[in-house]
Structure 1
Amino acid sequence: MPIQHRSELSPSPAEPAPSPTEPASCASSEFAVALLVALVEGGVRHVVVSPGSRSQALALAAAELEQAGNIELHVRIDERDAGFFALGIGMASGNPAAVITTSGSAVAHLLPSVMEASRTGIPMVLLTADRPAALRDTGANQTTHQGGIFDPFTVDSSDTSPDVYEANPVAAAATLAGRILGIGTGTSELVATGAPGPVHANIQFVEPLSGPHSSIDHIQHELQAYAADGVTASSAHPPIRQVDSASTATAPNSSISFPIRQVDSASTVVIAGFRSNPVVAEAATYAGVPVVAEVTSGSRAWHSVPNYRDWLAAGADGRNTLVVSGLPNLSREVWAFASRPDVQLITVTQPGSEAFSPGHRAELTSGVTFHGGDGGSQVSTSSGSAATPGSDAPTDVASTSTATPSSPSFSGPEGSIGRDDVVDLVWGSSAGGDAIYIAASNMVRVADKRVGASPVPVYSHRGLAGIDGTIAAAIGVARVAESVQPGCLIRLIIGDLAFAHDVGGLLLPTGEEFPNLQIVVVNDHGGSIFDGLEVAASEPTLYERVVRTPFDLNVANVAAAYGWEYTLAQRPSELWARLADRRPAIIEIPMATV
């Protein structure tokens, strides 16, 4: 868990008053604009707003910066989806999106995405508007204890009162932005860890909640002057760093790291779990070490063990050293093998990150050196970061992602369509630059068993293996992917249960750009992922009622209600044709149910 550091910010030092040529400003708006300008200058490019009254100064500032071309602004009605949309942006880019919410229960809706970002080290900036602290515990409307509400899951949180920014809003904003930028990316001396994660800045606003403010140019000039004078924390921290698969084990300012570990190639197997470092799997491959790369690992291009579940259960050919990168979570066999007393477990991680360690017995290391075997010695270091779409495909592994996908071959009769067909066709239709998002549904395990070594980028939020916010997060990934490579397409594979759980993610307010996303809904009328549980056989009636929970969802009507194009694909050829036309749509695939 990331180290947290929470405090109430103290007032900023006195600074010269604004130029007399500038109009009198509303402190709330002046502070809000200055804060967002400082964050943008530090590298924040995406701002997600959920409408509200108390947060209007921040929201209006974001709209103004959008008009000036300084940010990409996104509006989401539901705060839960706003959080997961920001999660998707951070997952795909390595940089945080800023999320703006109003006060009260609106803040609490961010918790699921904050938990996920914390577990997997995805940067995110939470800007929550609040009422003055004096109103807390008085029965005042929409007022609660927001400061520190996410503390178990944030790398830092602060609670800024009006007296901090009223005297000099720009100086106070520069100080807060510097703190956010440093801590949010793991580069601050306040946090002795290299792990990025969510940062929470709770800001108390008093009336007037918005009003006139200095020009953006004037505020930028003031921010630059404060940084040059060393008045603010921002001058002590570098801009937000781009995270890629080759980044080092520790942050630039972190003094803590784990020692590099030497392992014998002949006795080792490497497991790449969710958000693994592809460099570990690559080095293992060149050293002749078997690599089990889960389909959501980001390292699937190096996967070399077909039917790995059976192979691990049978003893992995006598290998007794297990090197793990990321968080494996798609099979019981990996956990069971890692828990064996005769297996030495070594986990490649970075300080501050939650590491894979069944029974808390793993030896933690920042990297491994492979000795012996066919490939000699290779060193790999840990990042635990997501790769930008298309960036993790090795140059010397044959790619299944081509500009012109070949005609498909179907696993079953043309008159039917199965889960294997869905996997084959989605992967087979992925052109250069495309990526796949896969929900925590039954289909992720089908894909893990079905897909061979493949450089097609695969995204998922499986840190806590929940179905919260899947559609919203996939749209966030699509936004980043298309900005990196225009024309690329994201395909989301999702079960009907996960689809229903985040149906609100389909809602795009007027003015929002439609994502380049195809949503493939595998509809088996309920939670078939639970069919393997013991209770499914021992108590089928009770299981059906409260675990599998079958339901009938009219996907076509849902698509129409939210303004999405809809297609029903009942045969493999129909699915292939719809995937190949590359138009954003919801594609429903009915599955036979027993």
Structure 2
Amino acid sequence: MEGQGSINGRWSAALVAGLAAAGVTHVVISPGSRSTPLSLACLRSPGLVCRVLLDERVAAFYALGLARATGRPVALICTSGSAVANWHPAVVEADMSRVPLILLSSDRPPELQDCGANQTLAQTGLFGTGLRAMIALPPAESQAGWLANAAARAVSQSLWPLPGPVQINVPFREPLLAPDAASDLPQAAGRVAPRVILPRQEAPADMVEDLARQFAGRTGVIVAGAEPLPAVPIVTLAGRLGWPVLADPLSGLRFGGHDLSPVLARSDIFLRGTLPSPDWVLRFGAFPVSKPLALWLAAPGARQVVVSGDSRWPDPQRSSDMMVHADPAAFADSLTRMAGEASPASWLRRFRLAEDAAGRLADEALVPEGRVVRQVIDALPDDSLLFIGNSMPVRDLDDFSGTGPQRLTILCNRGVSGIDGNLSSFFGAAASGRFTAAVALVGDLTFLHDLGGLAAGRGLNATVCVTDNGGGAIFGHLPQAVLPEFEAGWLTPQNADLGAAAAVWGHRYGKVAPSGVGPALTEALAAPGVSVLHISVDREESLAAHRALAARAAVIGTRD
């Protein structure tokens, strides 16, 4: 009779083989006892790349970054109890930013549930509505052939119809290992996982044709939102319609070898001025970062069409006249083929003049973070990764990035816009092997919030640029700034030793003035390992310069 330890081993081998056959190539493991059969199966699977990270929260954000960079599901493994709960912040981000994860949560068997057993909680309901599916497996048993199908289904559900996290809860009885586990390699049993083919959602041709008729000769703008979008189809459509593209910094349209002539990167500046309302707004993807753009879109007048590539409803202002659930590239290509007369040339020219005026203001502004953004971008070679932190960094990127021919991938945890786990996500993305260079630009509180994530950088070549403005400087732009409790309750300066933190994991560290970021970054990118560049920014100087830029921007468009 086969012992429980052997059953656990073969059960785990079958599940892991099914995930690998369905396309999973990377697994992030946090060590623990109950998860031993799963971890061992992965570590002994030659087709899987395994990374072991002690902290489950770090591991989950690392997996998130890796999955975001590759577009493929990454598996996570941890033991039972609070270890699973530590995944939750990253699961929330994966849910809201539609990143595929496979959560392999090890568990106690049913007889140890709800009876005071150690390290046991109700894991199957832990993530609530944030999952695409929750597969509760029975305790490991000898009949494991059906697990390949369950694994393929989990991978499919993590990718379609709405990408996101899928949990597979895996209870194990003791003994967890077979007596000969040190030498025996359990073989996966049963059939091979089915191949999964995902659809390409296209809008009905008659609807696209009707929309093309309505767009013909009318004024409009295309808004490329805060998620990676297909650049060539969208800019080709813009050229056909004679419309500008207001490109969010996370859209992927600001940089690359595609036609940049209709792409505008300064709308957060020039829309503080006076620009005419269009007849139509065609918006692709997630809602943009920029508040001035959001206010402009909320103004009455223009009819709005939103294109969502999945089942989510990205319309927080409830201003859409039409919601199109279709593949953005397919929709743009179809609309380009059917498009009629373009807008008058004067329409695009007016927006280009506003873009140029905003660019001059940005160049003349003495915003220290703006100088940092430009130097970082200028130092990046083709096919680089730029991971941008939330709060002020993503907003400064919006204002000061401009556009350019470099092939850059810009990523951000914008699903719920948290400052947690940013370093871990950055290192996960850098570990994908897709990039010639990897740079993160984050604030001081974002850096300190994820100190444990520095462990995930070991073995990688990457640079973290930290703009240190002495705490939560973004609140200086908000009404809380006038409160007597502002510094204690919102600014929260930490006065921490960033160099000591970097040294814990053997990373290089250097202090850099905002004017010297370019040479320091070039040097860091040429060196192996992880470098932390600590860029001190005068908070009051920065706040005054941001306000001066906004005030000067208010007159854009009034003299056209």
TM (norm. structure 2) is: 0.81
Residue-by-residue CA offset, 1:99-121 (whole Å, 9 max, x unaligned): 00111111111111111111122
Structure 1 partner of 2:491:
548
Distance 2:4 2:119 in 1: 30
> Once the 2 structures are TM-superposed, how far is the Cα of residue 327 of structure 1 from its aligned partner?
1.6
Structure 2 partner of 1:286:
239
Distance 2:205 2:185 in 1: 41
Distance 1:375 1:62 in 2: 57
Distance 1:24 1:522, change over 3 A: closer
> Once the 2 structures are TM-superposed, how far is the Cα of residue 372 of structure 1 from its aligned partner?
4.0
Indicate if the aligned counterparts of 1:119 and 1:354 stay in contact, CA closer than 8 A: no
Distance 1:522 1:571 in 2: 9
> Once the 2 structures are TM-superposed, how far is the Cα of residue 43 of structure 1 from its aligned partner?
1.1
Query: Where do 1:101-180 residues align within 5 Å?
Result: 101-162=78-139, 165-169=140-144, 171-180=145-154
Indicate if the aligned counterparts of 1:258 and 1:350 stay in contact, CA closer than 8 A: no
Distance 1:360 1:141, change over 3 A: farther
Distance 1:328 1:361 in 2: 12
2:516 alignment partner AA: S
2:196 alignment partner AA: P
1:434 alignment partner AA: S
2:235 alignment partner AA: E
SS in 2 for 1:507: helix
Structure 2 partner of 1:467:
419
Distance 1:150 1:32 in 2: 23
Distance 1:445 1:133, change over 3 A: same
Structure 2 partner of 1:405:
none
Query: Where do 1:174-189 residues align within 5 Å?
Result: 174-186=148-160
Query: Where do 1:168-247 residues align within 5 Å?
Result: 168-169=143-144, 171-186=145-160, 194-211=161-178, 212=180, 218-219=187-188, 222-223=189-190, 226-227=191-192, 234-235=193-194, 237-238=195-196
Larger mean CA deviation between 426-435 and 206-215 belongs to 206-215
2:447 alignment partner AA: F
Distance 1:574 1:429 in 2: 9
Structure 2 partner of 1:305:
264
TM (norm. structure 1) is: 0.77
2:443 alignment partner AA: G
Indicate if the aligned counterparts of 1:417 and 1:571 stay in contact, CA closer than 8 A: no
2:449 alignment partner AA: H
> Once the 2 structures are TM-superposed, how far is the Cα of residue 25 of structure 1 from its aligned partner?
6.2
Structure 1 partner of 2:282:
323
Unaligned residue ranges in structure 2 (runs of 5+): 345-361, 541-560
Distance 1:142 1:25 in 2: 20
Distance 1:136 1:39, change over 3 A: same
Indicate if the aligned counterparts of 1:96 and 1:124 stay in contact, CA closer than 8 A: yes
Distance 1:138 1:131, change over 3 A: same
The alignment status of 1:562 with 2:505, answered yes or no, reads yes
Query: Where is the helix percentage greater, Structure 1 or Structure 2?
Result: 2
Counterpart selection for 1:586 from 518, 532, 544: 532
SS in 2 for 1:346: strand
Indicate if the aligned counterparts of 2:56 and 2:84 stay in contact, CA closer than 8 A: yes
The alignment status of 1:521 with 2:496, answered yes or no, reads no
Structure 1 partner of 2:224:
272
SS in 1 for 2:246: strand
Indicate if the aligned counterparts of 2:105 and 2:168 stay in contact, CA closer than 8 A: yes
The alignment status of 1:58 with 2:38, answered yes or no, reads yes
Distance 2:54 2:62 in 1: 12
SS in 2 for 1:300: coil
Distance 1:522 1:462, change over 3 A: same
1:102 alignment partner AA: T
Distance 1:48 1:375, change over 3 A: farther
Structure 1 partner of 2:547:
none
The alignment status of 1:492 with 2:440, answered yes or no, reads yes
SS in 2 for 1:77: coil
Structure 1 partner of 2:386:
436
Counterpart selection for 1:42 from 22, 27, 38: 22
Distance 2:230 2:273 in 1: 26
> Once the 2 structures are TM-superposed, how far is the Cα of residue 353 of structure 1 from its aligned partner?
2.6
1:325 alignment partner AA: F
> Once the 2 structures are TM-superposed, how far is the Cα of residue 375 of structure 1 from its aligned partner?
9.2
2:416 alignment partner AA: L
Distance 1:256 1:156 in 2: 29
> Once the 2 structures are TM-superposed, how far is the Cα of residue 277 of structure 1 from its aligned partner?
2.1
1:174 alignment partner AA: A
Structure 1 partner of 2:480:
535
> Once the 2 structures are TM-superposed, how far is the Cα of residue 156 of structure 1 from its aligned partner?
0.7
> Once the 2 structures are TM-superposed, how far is the Cα of residue 281 of structure 1 from its aligned partner?
3.0
Distance 1:551 1:428, change over 3 A: same
Indicate if the aligned counterparts of 1:160 and 1:201 stay in contact, CA closer than 8 A: yes
> Once the 2 structures are TM-superposed, how far is the Cα of residue 581 of structure 1 from its aligned partner?
4.4
Distance 1:372 1:257 in 2: 15
Distance 1:549 1:45 in 2: 41
Indicate if the aligned counterparts of 1:119 and 1:353 stay in contact, CA closer than 8 A: no
Distance 1:312 1:161, change over 3 A: same
SS in 1 for 2:466: strand
Distance 1:358 1:442, change over 3 A: same
The CA RMSD over aligned residues, in Å, is 3.0
> Once the 2 structures are TM-superposed, how far is the Cα of residue 151 of structure 1 from its aligned partner?
3.1
SS in 2 for 1:359: coil
Distance 1:573 1:440 in 2: 23
SS in 1 for 2:441: strand
Indicate if the aligned counterparts of 1:273 and 1:325 stay in contact, CA closer than 8 A: yes
Structure 2 partner of 1:477:
429
The alignment status of 1:577 with 2:520, answered yes or no, reads yes
> Once the 2 structures are TM-superposed, how far is the Cα of residue 516 of structure 1 from its aligned partner?
1.6
The alignment status of 1:340 with 2:288, answered yes or no, reads no
Distance 1:57 1:117 in 2: 26
SS in 2 for 1:203: strand
Residue-by-residue CA offset, 1:85-132 (whole Å, 9 max, x unaligned): 111111111101100011111111111111111112211110000111
The alignment status of 1:296 with 2:296, answered yes or no, reads no
Indicate if the aligned counterparts of 1:492 and 1:519 stay in contact, CA closer than 8 A: yes
Indicate if the aligned counterparts of 1:50 and 1:100 stay in contact, CA closer than 8 A: yes
> Once the 2 structures are TM-superposed, how far is the Cα of residue 218 of structure 1 from its aligned partner?
4.2
Distance 1:136 1:360 in 2: 48
SS in 2 for 1:358: coil
Counterpart selection for 2:398 from 443, 448, 451: 448
Indicate if the aligned counterparts of 1:89 and 1:473 stay in contact, CA closer than 8 A: yes
Indicate if the aligned counterparts of 1:80 and 1:113 stay in contact, CA closer than 8 A: yes
Larger mean CA deviation between 423-432 and 286-295 belongs to 286-295
Unaligned residue ranges in structure 1 (runs of 5+): 1-16, 187-193, 228-233, 242-246, 377-409
Indicate if the aligned counterparts of 1:38 and 1:174 stay in contact, CA closer than 8 A: yes
Indicate if the aligned counterparts of 1:525 and 1:552 stay in contact, CA closer than 8 A: yes
> Once the 2 structures are TM-superposed, how far is the Cα of residue 79 of structure 1 from its aligned partner?
0.9
SS in 2 for 1:200: strand
Distance 1:560 1:411 in 2: 36
Residue-by-residue CA offset, 1:388-423 (whole Å, 9 max, x unaligned): xxxxxxxxxxxxxxxxxxxxxx9799xx99212211
SS in 2 for 1:457: strand
Distance 1:498 1:526 in 2: 9
Indicate if the aligned counterparts of 1:324 and 1:356 stay in contact, CA closer than 8 A: no
Distance 1:311 1:41 in 2: 50
Distance 2:285 2:228 in 1: 4
> Once the 2 structures are TM-superposed, how far is the Cα of residue 256 of structure 1 from its aligned partner?
11
Distance 2:176 2:301 in 1: 63
2:173 alignment partner AA: V
SS in 1 for 2:123: coil
Indicate if the aligned counterparts of 1:493 and 1:519 stay in contact, CA closer than 8 A: yes
Larger mean CA deviation between 356-365 and 51-60 belongs to 356-365
Residue-by-residue CA offset, 1:189-243 (whole Å, 9 max, x unaligned): xxxxx32211111111110112257976842xx44xx24xxxxxx32x427x7xx
Residue-by-residue CA offset, 1:164-196 (whole Å, 9 max, x unaligned): x41313x1422321221221221xxxxxxx322
Query: How many pairs align?
Result: 496
Residue-by-residue CA offset, 1:463-496 (whole Å, 9 max, x unaligned): 111111100110011011xx235xx111000100
Distance 1:100 1:24, change over 3 A: closer
